[in-house]
Amino acid sequence: MICSLKKTGDLITPTKARVRVMKRETLGVDVPVVCRQCEDPPCRDVCPTNAIIRNPETGAVTIDEKRCIGCRECMLGCPFGTISFDVNRGVCVNCDLCDGDPACAKMCQWGVIRYERADLADLARRRMAMEKIREAAGKTEAAVKS
């Protein structure tokens, strides 16, 4: 919701938010749907006006709204369905990482949304995986001993 507020100025609505969480209550699942900032983005490939470019500073896959003709090809091209169409302005919109200062990450109280260097995040994940394996190994060891 902070996304919608920041991007529109004063309006809060889920359709204007570029980060969305899809929920399935009966399964207890909440899935965040947000641009993956692909290395080789299909949305860029299908854009007929070359409006989708990579921001050289943040690396974000951004839509140049001046060039965008609102054909919505990119929405079809995105395998994750993260691009949305702004009906009021007639352009496609996407998470642009707020030019390197994402409002959602600032608002998130639990560190679930973080803005980090991809390679460092990767290292952290490896560390977590190692801990998990170690824990599992410990459990097996304990089971063997008993």
Q: Rule CB under 8 A: which residues touch other proteins?
A: 1-2, 4-5, 9-16, 22-23, 25-26, 28-30, 107, 109-110
Distance CA 14, CA 84 (A): 11
Structure tokens belonging to residue 145: 């001993």
Token pair recorded at residue 72: 């919505």
Q: Whole-number minimum distance, CB 106 to other proteins, in Å?
A: 8
Residue 90 beta carbon to other proteins: minimum distance, rounded to whole angstroms? 16
What are the tokens at 45?
Answer: 């490939």
How far apart are alpha carbons 39 and 118 in whole angstroms?
12
Q: Which is nearer to other proteins, 4 or 62 (CB)?
A: 4
* Residue 74 structure tokens: 């990119």
Q: Which is nearer to other proteins, 1 or 46 (CB)?
A: 1
CB of 31: closest distance to other proteins in angstroms?
A: 12
